[in-house]
Amino acid sequence: RALAAATMDGALADPDSSGPGDPAAWAHDYELDPLELALDDECFTTFFNALLALPVFPQRLRYSFTMKGFVDESAFDDIAIGRIRTAPPPVRYPDPDRGSEPVFRWIAENRYCLFRGTEFHLLFVLCQELHDGNPALATLDVHPSRARAMLASFNAMNTFEQFLRGSPGHTCLRFWLDAARCLIDVTDHFPRRMRDLAERYFRPGIPNPLPMDVASVCLATDDAAQYVSLSPSCLAQAQALALQKLQTYWVPRFLLHRASEEPPPAPAPA
Protein backbone atom coordinates (compact mmCIF):
# COMPACT_ATOMS: atom_id res chain seq x y z
CA ARG A 1 0.00 0.00 0.00
CA ALA A 2 1.19 3.46 -0.76
CA LEU A 3 1.93 5.67 2.18
CA ALA A 4 0.65 9.12 1.34
CA ALA A 5 2.96 11.77 2.72
CA ALA A 6 0.79 14.12 4.70
CA THR A 7 2.80 17.19 3.89
CA MET A 8 2.52 16.49 0.18
CA ASP A 9 -1.11 15.55 -0.36
CA GLY A 10 -2.95 17.10 2.57
CA ALA A 11 -3.92 13.70 3.97
CA LEU A 12 -2.96 14.57 7.51
CA ALA A 13 -5.95 13.88 9.69
CA ASP A 14 -7.22 16.59 11.98
CA PRO A 15 -6.65 16.12 15.70
CA ASP A 16 -9.36 14.54 17.81
CA SER A 17 -12.82 15.85 17.02
CA SER A 18 -12.88 17.57 20.38
CA GLY A 19 -10.05 19.84 19.22
CA PRO A 20 -6.42 19.75 20.20
CA GLY A 21 -7.41 18.63 23.67
CA ASP A 22 -6.66 19.91 27.12
CA PRO A 23 -3.11 21.32 26.97
CA ALA A 24 -2.52 20.57 30.64
CA ALA A 25 -3.35 16.89 30.13
CA TRP A 26 -0.61 16.40 27.53
CA ALA A 27 1.95 18.70 29.15
CA HIS A 28 1.68 17.11 32.61
CA ASP A 29 4.58 14.70 32.07
CA TYR A 30 6.91 17.57 31.25
CA GLU A 31 6.18 19.86 34.18
CA LEU A 32 9.17 21.08 36.17
CA ASP A 33 9.68 21.20 39.91
CA PRO A 34 10.41 24.57 41.50
CA LEU A 35 14.08 25.34 41.03
CA GLU A 36 14.96 24.88 44.69
CA LEU A 37 13.67 21.29 44.49
CA ALA A 38 15.05 20.53 41.03
CA LEU A 39 18.58 21.44 42.13
CA ASP A 40 18.52 18.61 44.68
CA ASP A 41 18.81 16.20 41.72
CA GLU A 42 22.46 16.04 40.59
CA CYS A 43 21.42 14.63 37.22
CA PHE A 44 19.17 17.64 36.61
CA THR A 45 21.95 20.09 37.41
CA THR A 46 24.04 18.77 34.50
CA PHE A 47 21.27 19.60 32.03
CA PHE A 48 20.55 22.98 33.59
CA ASN A 49 24.26 23.85 33.56
CA ALA A 50 24.36 23.01 29.86
CA LEU A 51 21.69 25.66 29.31
CA LEU A 52 23.53 28.17 31.51
CA ALA A 53 26.71 27.61 29.47
CA LEU A 54 25.16 28.73 26.18
CA PRO A 55 27.15 31.61 24.66
CA VAL A 56 23.98 33.67 24.25
CA PHE A 57 24.18 34.45 27.98
CA PRO A 58 26.85 37.06 28.83
CA GLN A 59 27.11 35.89 32.45
CA ARG A 60 28.55 32.37 32.67
CA LEU A 61 26.77 30.81 35.63
CA ARG A 62 27.16 27.25 36.82
CA TYR A 63 25.53 25.41 39.69
CA SER A 64 27.99 23.53 41.89
CA PHE A 65 26.23 20.51 43.35
CA THR A 66 28.98 19.93 45.90
CA MET A 67 29.04 23.54 47.12
CA LYS A 68 25.26 23.93 46.82
CA GLY A 69 25.58 27.31 45.16
CA PHE A 70 25.88 29.10 41.85
CA VAL A 71 29.32 30.06 40.55
CA ASP A 72 29.81 33.10 38.31
CA GLU A 73 32.51 31.86 35.93
CA SER A 74 32.51 35.13 33.99
CA ALA A 75 33.89 36.95 37.04
CA PHE A 76 37.49 36.20 36.08
CA ASP A 77 39.57 35.69 32.93
CA ASP A 78 42.86 34.00 33.68
CA ILE A 79 43.93 33.88 30.03
CA ALA A 80 43.48 37.57 29.25
CA ILE A 81 45.13 38.97 32.37
CA GLY A 82 47.58 36.17 33.15
CA ARG A 83 46.24 35.22 36.56
CA ILE A 84 46.76 31.84 38.11
CA ARG A 85 43.47 30.07 37.59
CA THR A 86 41.49 29.84 40.80
CA ALA A 87 37.86 28.97 41.22
CA PRO A 88 35.64 32.04 41.71
CA PRO A 89 33.76 32.16 44.98
CA PRO A 90 30.31 30.57 44.79
CA VAL A 91 27.24 32.73 45.06
CA ARG A 92 25.68 30.78 47.91
CA TYR A 93 22.22 30.82 49.34
CA PRO A 94 21.35 29.40 52.75
CA ASP A 95 19.17 26.37 53.29
CA PRO A 96 16.33 25.83 53.68
CA ASP A 97 14.89 29.14 52.47
CA ARG A 98 16.95 29.31 49.29
CA GLY A 99 14.24 30.86 47.19
CA SER A 100 14.31 34.09 49.19
CA GLU A 101 17.83 34.96 48.04
CA PRO A 102 18.01 37.66 45.31
CA VAL A 103 20.57 35.73 43.23
CA PHE A 104 18.54 32.57 43.35
CA ARG A 105 15.35 34.43 42.50
CA TRP A 106 17.07 36.16 39.58
CA ILE A 107 18.26 32.82 38.15
CA ALA A 108 14.79 31.33 38.56
CA GLU A 109 13.16 34.26 36.76
CA ASN A 110 15.78 34.82 34.04
CA ARG A 111 17.26 31.41 33.30
CA TYR A 112 15.11 28.60 34.69
CA CYS A 113 12.01 30.01 33.02
CA LEU A 114 13.78 29.47 29.67
CA PHE A 115 14.60 25.82 30.40
CA ARG A 116 11.12 24.36 29.83
CA GLY A 117 10.66 22.89 26.36
CA THR A 118 14.32 23.17 25.36
CA GLU A 119 16.39 20.24 24.14
CA PHE A 120 18.09 20.22 27.56
CA HIS A 121 14.75 19.87 29.37
CA LEU A 122 13.42 17.15 27.08
CA LEU A 123 16.68 15.19 27.19
CA PHE A 124 16.51 15.32 30.98
CA VAL A 125 12.95 13.92 30.95
CA LEU A 126 14.01 11.18 28.52
CA CYS A 127 17.04 10.38 30.68
CA GLN A 128 14.73 9.78 33.63
CA GLU A 129 12.35 7.67 31.55
CA LEU A 130 15.18 5.42 30.33
CA HIS A 131 16.01 4.40 33.91
CA ASP A 132 12.80 4.63 35.91
CA GLY A 133 10.88 1.38 35.82
CA ASN A 134 13.11 -0.18 33.13
CA PRO A 135 13.06 -3.94 33.85
CA ALA A 136 15.73 -4.62 31.21
CA LEU A 137 18.40 -3.08 33.45
CA ALA A 138 17.94 -5.82 36.06
CA THR A 139 19.04 -8.47 33.56
CA LEU A 140 22.39 -6.83 32.75
CA ASP A 141 25.73 -7.83 34.21
CA VAL A 142 26.28 -4.20 35.20
CA HIS A 143 25.84 -2.88 38.73
CA PRO A 144 22.72 -0.64 38.92
CA SER A 145 24.68 2.32 40.29
CA ARG A 146 27.25 2.00 37.51
CA ALA A 147 24.53 1.67 34.88
CA ARG A 148 22.90 4.85 36.11
CA ALA A 149 26.21 6.73 36.10
CA MET A 150 26.71 5.71 32.45
CA LEU A 151 23.55 7.52 31.38
CA ALA A 152 22.41 9.93 34.11
CA SER A 153 23.98 13.21 32.95
CA PHE A 154 23.88 15.60 30.01
CA ASN A 155 27.25 14.41 28.69
CA ALA A 156 26.25 10.77 29.09
CA MET A 157 23.07 11.32 27.09
CA ASN A 158 25.13 12.94 24.34
CA THR A 159 27.39 9.88 24.32
CA PHE A 160 24.31 7.66 24.12
CA GLU A 161 23.00 9.61 21.11
CA GLN A 162 26.38 9.36 19.38
CA PHE A 163 26.31 5.59 19.94
CA LEU A 164 22.87 5.39 18.28
CA ARG A 165 23.66 7.46 15.18
CA GLY A 166 22.77 5.73 11.94
CA SER A 167 20.52 3.17 13.68
CA PRO A 168 16.76 2.83 14.17
CA GLY A 169 17.45 3.59 17.81
CA HIS A 170 18.57 7.10 16.90
CA THR A 171 15.34 7.61 14.96
CA CYS A 172 13.37 6.48 18.02
CA LEU A 173 15.30 8.91 20.24
CA ARG A 174 14.80 11.91 17.95
CA PHE A 175 11.14 11.00 17.42
CA TRP A 176 10.58 10.83 21.18
CA LEU A 177 12.08 14.32 21.59
CA ASP A 178 10.14 15.82 18.67
CA ALA A 179 6.90 14.24 19.90
CA ALA A 180 7.56 15.64 23.38
CA ARG A 181 8.16 19.07 21.86
CA CYS A 182 4.68 18.89 20.32
CA LEU A 183 2.88 17.41 23.32
CA ILE A 184 4.36 19.88 25.79
CA ASP A 185 2.38 22.67 24.15
CA VAL A 186 -0.79 21.41 22.45
CA THR A 187 -2.21 24.64 21.03
CA ASP A 188 -3.80 25.91 17.84
CA HIS A 189 -0.41 25.40 16.17
CA PHE A 190 -0.64 21.64 16.73
CA PRO A 191 -1.74 20.75 13.14
CA ARG A 192 1.23 22.63 11.65
CA ARG A 193 3.63 20.93 14.03
CA MET A 194 2.14 17.57 13.11
CA ARG A 195 2.69 18.24 9.42
CA ASP A 196 6.34 18.97 10.15
CA LEU A 197 6.56 15.76 12.17
CA ALA A 198 4.90 13.74 9.42
CA GLU A 199 7.34 15.10 6.85
CA ARG A 200 10.30 14.21 9.03
CA TYR A 201 9.30 10.68 10.06
CA PHE A 202 6.57 9.37 7.74
CA ARG A 203 7.66 10.53 4.29
CA PRO A 204 8.27 7.57 1.93
CA GLY A 205 11.89 6.72 1.32
CA ILE A 206 13.44 8.45 4.34
CA PRO A 207 16.62 6.80 5.69
CA ASN A 208 16.35 4.96 9.01
CA PRO A 209 12.55 5.15 9.27
CA LEU A 210 10.69 4.51 12.50
CA PRO A 211 10.15 0.83 13.34
CA MET A 212 6.91 -0.26 11.70
CA ASP A 213 5.14 -1.10 14.96
CA VAL A 214 5.81 2.46 16.15
CA ALA A 215 4.81 4.12 12.87
CA SER A 216 1.68 1.99 12.43
CA VAL A 217 0.04 3.66 15.45
CA CYS A 218 -0.15 6.84 13.36
CA LEU A 219 -1.29 5.24 10.10
CA ALA A 220 -4.85 4.97 8.83
CA THR A 221 -6.28 3.38 5.71
CA ASP A 222 -8.69 4.92 3.23
CA ASP A 223 -9.52 3.47 -0.20
CA ALA A 224 -6.60 1.02 -0.02
CA ALA A 225 -4.11 3.82 0.66
CA GLN A 226 -2.38 4.54 3.93
CA TYR A 227 -2.03 8.05 5.28
CA VAL A 228 -0.68 9.65 8.42
CA SER A 229 -3.29 10.24 11.11
CA LEU A 230 -1.81 12.25 13.94
CA SER A 231 -3.67 13.39 17.04
CA PRO A 232 -2.27 14.01 20.51
CA SER A 233 -3.42 10.58 21.65
CA CYS A 234 -1.90 8.75 18.64
CA LEU A 235 1.32 10.69 18.98
CA ALA A 236 1.58 9.87 22.69
CA GLN A 237 1.05 6.16 21.94
CA ALA A 238 3.75 6.16 19.26
CA GLN A 239 6.09 8.05 21.58
CA ALA A 240 5.55 5.44 24.32
CA LEU A 241 6.42 2.63 21.87
CA ALA A 242 9.57 4.44 20.77
CA LEU A 243 10.56 4.79 24.43
CA GLN A 244 9.97 1.07 24.96
CA LYS A 245 12.35 0.28 22.08
CA LEU A 246 15.01 2.45 23.67
CA GLN A 247 14.50 0.99 27.16
CA THR A 248 14.43 -2.69 26.27
CA TYR A 249 16.98 -2.90 23.46
CA TRP A 250 19.13 0.17 22.83
CA VAL A 251 19.90 1.17 26.42
CA PRO A 252 21.08 -2.37 27.35
CA ARG A 253 23.24 -2.48 24.22
CA PHE A 254 24.76 0.88 25.07
CA LEU A 255 25.48 -0.03 28.69
CA LEU A 256 27.09 -3.34 27.74
CA HIS A 257 29.18 -1.53 25.14
CA ARG A 258 30.34 1.04 27.70
CA ALA A 259 31.05 -1.67 30.28
CA SER A 260 33.21 -3.55 27.77
CA GLU A 261 35.34 -0.42 27.28
CA GLU A 262 36.15 -0.07 30.97
CA PRO A 263 39.37 -1.60 32.32
CA PRO A 264 38.90 -4.67 34.51
CA PRO A 265 38.95 -4.03 38.26
CA ALA A 266 42.30 -4.32 39.99
CA PRO A 267 42.88 -7.68 41.72
CA ALA A 268 42.37 -7.76 45.44
CA PRO A 269 45.57 -7.65 47.49
CA ALA A 270 46.86 -11.03 48.56
Closest CA to 182 of 170, 198, 169: 198
Give the mean pLDDT of the chain.
79
DSSP at 221: E
Q: CA of 194: how far to CAs of 8, 10, 159, 175, in Å?
A: 13, 12, 29, 12
List CB contacts of 8: < 8 A, sequence separation 6 or more. Answer: 203
pLDDT of residue 9: 34
Q: With residue 91 as reference, give the H or E element that holds it.
A: strand 90-92
* 3-state DSSP assignment of residue 34: coil
- Of 26-40, 54-68, 166-180, the one with minimum mean pLDDT is 26-40
Q: Average pLDDT in the 49-64 region?
A: 91
Closest CA to 75 of 58, 92, 63, 52: 58
* 3-state DSSP assignment of residue 28: helix
Higher pLDDT, 177 or 101: 177
